[in-house]
Amino acid sequence: MTRFAAAFAKPRPALVAFITGGDGDTAANLDALVAGGADVIELGMPFTDPMADGPAIQAANLRSLAKGTTTADIFAIASAFRGRHPETPLVLMGYANPMTIRGGDWFAAECAKAGVDGVICVDIPAEEDPELGPALRAAGVDLIRLATPTTDAARLPDVLNGAGGFLYYVSVAGITGQQQAAQASIDEAVARLKAATDLPVAVGFGVRTPQQAAEIAKVADGVVVGSAFIDIIAEHGDAAAPLVEAFTHTLADAIHGAKEIAA
């Protein structure tokens, strides 16, 4: 059983937590996420033009890059994380340029060597899968695809073709951390996606509070939270880990208990 399958096989929804690599004390913050109950970790690869991200994650990218964070540093962080946490799924999330500039085969091999389970590349659509998809799949690394409110029935099969790990539903037609979609639209979208795939469906973008997360967790297999963690790291810098862990606990409790409450 893969780490993703184990994480989503638990009898409750999963908390998927995102932070930007190289922003703050990344190793301590990753450990705090695990200690707080996160089921899956997304590690952002800093990039100069993160087009899908709102102000909080944009600023985190710039803080990380200002410290000189490189792709090699991200793989070192990932490898060290895997050594400390052998069971927790780890996803690299980012943009095409750092992932493909040395070739998809190189990137996929480095992911496998570092113990990375999956990759989300925001700006390589399903139609451009040959850029990265075949190399990742050959290396045993899941390519996690994004579905959005504008992914219609005609395009959804293309999105799902070659996808692995879980399906990430971007709940708003906008950027991270700004607004949350109406719950009714999330309910409808998750039902539609789950009818089309056996992959777990995780919902993200705009989820900031335990209350929001719990509502989504009543219907989804997982809930993705990112900007709320980034805000803590922005405020507390290298001392953020205890606060990250405490906030993770509140989110995990809300998400893990959501379906029991709904029942």
User: 3-state DSSP call for residue 67?
Assistant: coil
Report the side by side order of strands in the sheet with 167-170.
Answer: 142-143, 118-121, 90-94, 40-44, 14-20, 222-225, 201-204, 167-170, 146-147
* Catalytic member of 42, 110, 117, 215: 42
Alpha-carbon span 186 to 218, nearest angstrom: 11
User: 3-state DSSP call for residue 155?
Assistant: coil
128 in catalytic set: no
Q: Which residues of 49-74 are buried (b: 16+ CB within 10 A; e: fewer)?
A: ebeebbebbbbbbebbbeeebebebb
* Catalytic member of 23, 25, 49, 53: 53
73 in catalytic set: no
From first CA to last CA, the distance across the chain in angstroms is 28
Q: Which residues are catalytic?
A: 42, 53
